[in-house]
Structure 1
Amino acid sequence: MINNLEQGFFGIGIQNGKTPENLGVLWRSAQNMGASFIFTIGNRYAKQACDTHKAVGAMPYFHYNTFDDFYKNLPKGAMLVGVELNEKAEHLETFSHPRRCVYLLGAEDHGLSKTAIDKSHYLVKFKSELSLNVSVAGSIIMYDRQAKINFSN
């Protein structure tokens, strides 16, 4: 895990999340993997059984009504990393995670909005033919971040 006295942080969230269960599982993983904050854009988070560690009480949770509201509130110096099956996206296996970043995932049925894709500093994808469950995808991203020692920026 990253020492919080070192420079760097990350947040993770979902744009237009489809189910509260996916959010709860992602928040639980975020808490275990050292996220600094969690967030949603669009659909609101609903308290449910999958957030058994009560992550929303253990770290800051932000909700934004629109992508523009979210984007104008990105932390200073943070890079936006969109997770999307896109021809421009880098493969996660070779991706160097920024030291200060915010990971944004889209719902399984629609993915990220065009605006989110266009405004992302980086896009990453998995070696997968089909999309993954959003909470699984986010957990893989965070695990990969922890597993890699060298950060960019």
Structure 2
Amino acid sequence: MQLEKQQISIGLSNPKNPVNVASILRAAGCYGVASVFYTGQRYRFAKDFNADTKAFHKTIPTIGVENLKEVVPKGAKVVAVELVEGATPLPSFTHPDNAFYILGPEDGSLDSRVLSWCDHVVYIPTFSCMNLAATANVLLYDRLAKSNYKHGDGLIRKSRDNNNQTKI
């Protein structure tokens, strides 16, 4: 039993923190993301200092681009994740089968020009803004939780760390 191959890509707008991007790559590996795109120079300068302990950067294409709009995967609905008035709360959002999720920088917001070409804009209801990597993890978990995934001991055995052989 396993998670089915999904049609998910992530776009990061000018990320600055390599630890956050590494954490997003780990989440991407855990939740079946096909590719990660990013804009800007800040991550490019710092990416050698990443903390991708599962080395998902070797299996998930992580590609620097000039403009995220130019790399929207074929047939994907673009979903921006941003704390912006008028956005849909994530708990009531239905994820598209083929999604390109766009997340803003750690120290800023997605520009209104980016939001204008997105199919959906969602936000995660919290009492304060979340870290970029935490946002990606919550978003991807929400997608999984709302899906019809196959679950059970087979998935647990495949997903857990090699040092964990615990059973109940």
2:130 is aligned with 1:132:
yes
CA contact (8 A) 2:21 2:50 kept: no
TM-score under structure 1 length normalisation: 0.87
Superposed displacement of residue 105, structure 1: 0.6
Q: Distance in 2 between matches of 1:82 and 1:49?
A: 25
Offset, 1:49: 4.1
Distance 1:2 1:121 in 2: 26
**By percentage of residues, which structure has more strand?**
1
Corresponding letter in the other structure for 2:95: H
In 2: Cα distance, 1:50 partner to 1:40 partner: 17
Q: What number of residue pairs does the alignment pair up?
A: 144
For residues 106 and 59 of structure 1, the distance between their equivalents in structure 2, rounded to whole angstroms, comes to 20
> RMSD across aligned C-alpha pairs, in angstroms?
1.6
Query: Is 1:34 matched with 2:32?
Result: yes
Does 2:54 match 1:53? yes
Partner of 1:73 in structure 2? 71
Highest CA radius of gyration, 1 or 2? 2
Asked if the contact 1:37–1:60 (Cα under 8 Å) also holds between the matched residues in 2, the reply is yes
d(CA) in 1 for partners of 2:50, 2:23: 9
Deviation at 1:32, TM superposition (A): 1.0
1:96 and 2:97 correspond = no
Alpha-carbon offset, residue 59 of structure 1: 1.5
Give the conservation status (yes or no) of the 8 Å contact 1:11–1:38: yes
Contact 1:12 1:37 in 2 (8 A): yes
**TM-score normalised by the chain length of structure 2:** 0.79
| Deviation digits for residues 55-80 of structure 1 (CA, Å, limit 9, x no counterpart) | 11112222112x3xx21221111011
Cα distance between partner residues in 1 of 2:49 and 2:96: 32
Separation of aligned partners in 1, 2:90 and 2:12: 18
Moved over 3 A (4+): none
Higher helix share: 2
CA contact (8 A) 1:108 1:131 kept: no
